[in-house]
Amino acid sequence: MTSLPPPGTRKLGLVIDLDICVGCHACAVNCKEWNSGGQMAPLTDLDPYGAHPHGVWFNRVHSFEAGEGGEGRTVHFPRSCLHCEQPACVEVCPTGASYKRAEDGIVLVNEDLCIGCKLCSWACPYGAREFDEDVGVMKKCTLCIDKIYNETLDERDRVPACVATCPVSARHFGDLGDPGSSVSRLVAERGGYELMPEMGYKPVNRYLPPRPRKDSAGCTGAPAALPTPTAGAEANPLLRWIDRMLSR
């Protein structure tokens, strides 16, 4: 159903820590790997060995610079579906293929209903929808629905592929509808934010901002410079060490 379900209490989503994301693309590739054989398989690649290789990816990692010169920051920025609470990508879908699950808020595409009109991808401000030109249907991040609920997997493995694989642990998964969940607490502590709130889609995913730099005097508690030695030592600094009692 394309109309949205009544707002649920469970809001599964991701929290991405831009302070430590090194832009390694592990999450993007592991996502591709998992999903290539998963719910939305395949994630077709066109012209894979040719002049214009391009394929379906549910997660793409951008790099930005913010600010000027040495004062600025380089920020690596993974982008995938934010599982919005007000996802127009769902409402615009003429067939009901695009839907938001009532029980956990995951936004999915039912490929069997999809006519490939691409409208939902126009309606997503974040570019989170990926059209599979070969299959003719829209695909997208499933929040690894076939992994997070997969009872054939070890309990600990029931997290999205991108989260499990992130080497720096910049990705967190959980229920953002529960203020007590670890992800909600993380968002609260670190000032996690929504992307483009002005669009009104109310994304569930949150991004944690880069922490302030520690590159000014006093930031580690150290003085701005070491004290200059006393006048006597200045003359022959070696003398300071001559009387030091040392043992081995």
Partner 1 sequence: MAPVEERIETSRRLSDEAKFTTCYMCACRCGIKVHLKDGRIRYIEGNRDHPVNRGVLCAKGSAGLMTHYSPARLTAPLLRVGPRGAGAFKEIGWDEAMAIAAGWLGSIRASDPKRLAFFTGRDQSQALTGWWAAQFGTPNYAAHGGFCSVNMAAAGLYTIGGSFWEFGEPDWENTRYFMMFGVAEDHDSNPIKIGLGKLKGRGAKFVSVNPVRTGYSAIADEWLGIRPGSDGLFVLSLIHELLKADKIDLPFLARYTNAPWLVVRNPGGADDGLIARDFAGRPLCWDRTHDAAVDATSADAAPMMVGEFTLANGQRAVPVFQLMAERYLDGRYAPEAVEREVGVAAPVIRRIAAELAHAAFEEQIVLQQPWTDWAGRRHETITGRPVAMHAMRGISAHSNGFQSCRAIHLLQMLLGSIDCPGGFRYEPPFPRPIPPPVKPLGESQPDRSLGGPILGFPTGPADLLVEADGMPKRLDKAYSWEAPLAAHGLMHMVIHNAWKGDPYTIDTLFLYMANMGWNSAMNPGETLRKLTDRAADGEGYRIPHFIYADAYFSETVAYADLVLPDTTYLERYDCISLLDRPISDANGAADAIRQPVVKPDRNVRPFQDVLIDLGTRLKLPGFVEADGSAKFPGLYADYMVNHQRGPGLGLLAGWRGKDGDKSGIGEPNPKQLDKYIANGCFWRHELAPNQRYLRHANKDYLDWAATMGFVAQPDQIVLQVYCEPLQKFRLAAAGHGALQPPERDRERIARYFDPLPFWYRPFEQDPADGEEFPLHAVTQRPMAMYHSWGSQNAWLRQIHTGNRLFMNRRKAEAQGLVDDDWVWIESRQGRVKAQIKLMEGVNEDTVWTWNAVGKRAGAWNLDPSAPEARQGFLLNHVIAELLPAQPDGYRYANCDPITGQAAWYDLRVRLIKAEASEKPETSPRFPPLGRPSGLPSPARILRYGAAFRGRREGGS
Partner 2 sequence: MHPAGSVIWFTTLSGAGYGLLFLLGLLAGTPLLPDSRWFAFATLALGLGLVTAGLVSSTLHLGHPERAWRAFSQWRSSWLSREGVLSVAGYFPAGVFGIAWVFFSHRLAWAGWLMAAFAPATVYSTAMIYASLKPVPRWYNPWVAPNYLLLALMTGSLLLRALVALFGLSPGALRMLSTAAILVAAGAKLAYWWHIGRAAPAATAESATGLGALGRVRLLEAPHTEENYLLKEMGYRIARKHATRLRGIAFLFAFVLPLLLTATAPLLSPALAAFAAVLAAASAMLGVLVERWLFFAEAKHSVILYYGASAV
**Residues lying near ligand SF4 in the complex (CB under 6 A):** 21-27, 31, 34-35, 58-59, 61, 76, 78, 80-84, 87, 89, 92-93, 95, 97-98, 107, 109, 114-120, 124, 126, 128-129, 138, 140-144, 160-162, 166, 168, 170-171, 201
Asked whether position 62 contacts partner 2 by CB under 8 A, the answer is yes
Shortest distance, position 94 Cβ to partner 2, whole Å: 4
- Residue 210: what residue type? P
At CA 80, angle to CA 78 and CA 85, rounded to 5? 130
Asked whether position 33 contacts partner 2 by CB under 8 A, the answer is no
Shortest distance, position 175 Cβ to partner 1, whole Å: 17
Shortest distance, position 108 Cβ to partner 2, whole Å: 15
What is the per-residue binding string for partner 2 in 182-221, x denoting contact by CB under 8 A? Answer: -----------xxxxxxxxx-----x-xx-----------
What's the DSSP call for residue 29?
A: H
| Segments in 199-242 forming alpha helices (H) | 231-235
Give the start-end residues of each E strand in the chain: 12-17, 45-46, 54-55, 59-66, 73-80, 98-100, 107-109, 129-132, 137-140, 171-175, 206-208
Shortest distance, position 24 Cβ to ligand SF4, whole Å: 4
- Tell me which of 17, 104, 130, 175 binds partner 2, using CB under 8 A: 130
Query: What six digits make up the tokens of 33?
Result: 């790997």
**What whole-number distance in Å separates Cα of residue 12 and Cα of residue 116?**
26
**What whole-number distance in Å separates Cα of residue 113 and Cα of residue 8?**
24
What is the per-residue binding string for partner 2 in 104-123, x denoting contact by CB under 8 A? Answer: ---------xxxxxxx-xxx
